[in-house]
Structure 1
């Protein structure tokens, strides 16, 4: 799998289309805002492809100091279950070895209409060498569990990513919750 910075309109069209189907509306940020933040150097938007397949998936990475939030990671449904998600996680850890890497998953500690999907997602990330952080977060009223590479990330560092990348308008909608 090749990982490239997203640069072309066609790449952004593929990313945007998958973004709209892979994430619930209440968890999506403005795609235009994210593209603007990428141009300012606050986000990395990367595109996954292979020699045979022009679009496998994408990741949107919010970076502040040495802490990174994998804000969105999605694999095209046609290629799920084929190891590409694991390869993407391996790439992130290898490509950003000095960063504290974290990501959010919909909490398995609250009632939902998709509990097994949430459990499967959590098991996937745990299988791929990420560990649970001892706190959760609520972002725009959606509760998330947080995972990280083998480094500890404090609640303050997590909130600082939102504040410094997305600004106070979005970060005011982020709160920390002690894990149950």
Structure 2
């Protein structure tokens, strides 16, 4: 049975070095030491998707009180297109049962560099919406990457100003001030 479980530091390092460097573009990947510092501060939660005892996917979350930002989410290649990713997305609200907001960034297909990227990013949007997420309408540029902000959770305020403030709050606690100011922009 598939379930989510918090990862220890050794598992985080293994996932980072063996999977994340492959699963995510370099521009989107935060340095491992920043992730460790955030974990130590209690503002970052690395979760693994397990099939019994076998790690088959992961999601790393930024935590700010009862609000969460899905920073990374991926399943291992051999598990892709088998429904495991959808299960992980649907498990998140149950695992984070006290969450007021869970939001995620996905690449905005309107800014895709080529047709293949646009197709992939459009499929990714469909994947999230099929699995319980909704488009908030908020568009951001994070470290140069144009993102759409999706949401699931119990708090359904659609106030764009409040949502932008929520989004910024995750990066304000995660990044040094100068790095935040250079890299987190509303579109």
Report the secondary structure of 2:55's partner residue.
Answer: coil
How much has 1:13 moved relative to structure 2?
Answer: 0.8
Single out whichever of 106-115 and 129-138 deviates more from structure 2. 106-115
- Give the one of 133, 141, 162 matched to 1:138: 141
How much has 1:49 moved relative to structure 2?
Answer: 1.6
Structure 1: stretches of 5+ with no match in the other structure: none
Q: Partners in 2 of 1:78 and 1:169 — Cα distance?
A: 39
RMSD, matched Cα: 1.7
Q: Does the Cα contact within 8 Å between 2:102 and 2:152 map onto a contact in 1?
A: yes
Structure 2: stretches of 5+ with no match in the other structure: none
Larger helix proportion of the pair: 2
Counterpart for residue 74 of structure 1: 74
CA, structure 1 residues 42+27, in 2 after alignment: closer, same or farther (shift >3 Å)? same
CA, structure 1 residues 48+139, in 2 after alignment: closer, same or farther (shift >3 Å)? same
Q: Partners in 2 of 1:75 and 1:100 — Cα distance?
A: 23
CA, structure 1 residues 8+30, in 2 after alignment: closer, same or farther (shift >3 Å)? closer
Counterpart for residue 2 of structure 1: 3
Counterpart for residue 119 of structure 2: 116
Q: Partners in 1 of 2:171 and 2:144 — Cα distance?
A: 15
Query: Which aligned segments of 4 or more residues in structure 1 are displaced greater than 4 angstroms?
Result: none
CA, structure 1 residues 110+34, in 2 after alignment: closer, same or farther (shift >3 Å)? same
Q: Does the Cα contact within 8 Å between 1:14 and 1:55 map onto a contact in 2?
A: no
How much has 1:147 moved relative to structure 2?
Answer: 0.4
How much has 1:91 moved relative to structure 2?
Answer: 1.4
TM-score (norm: length of structure 1): 0.90
Q: Partners in 1 of 2:101 and 2:109 — Cα distance?
A: 23
Q: Partners in 2 of 1:89 and 1:56 — Cα distance?
A: 14
Q: Does the Cα contact within 8 Å between 2:3 and 2:91 map onto a contact in 1?
A: no
Pair 1:54 & 2:54 matched = yes
Report the secondary structure of 1:154's partner residue.
Answer: helix
How does 1:1-180 map onto structure 2 within 5 Å?
Answer: 1-7=2-8, 9-10=10-11, 12-51=13-52, 54-97=54-97, 98-113=99-114, 114-149=117-152, 151-152=156-157, 154-172=163-181, 173-177=183-187
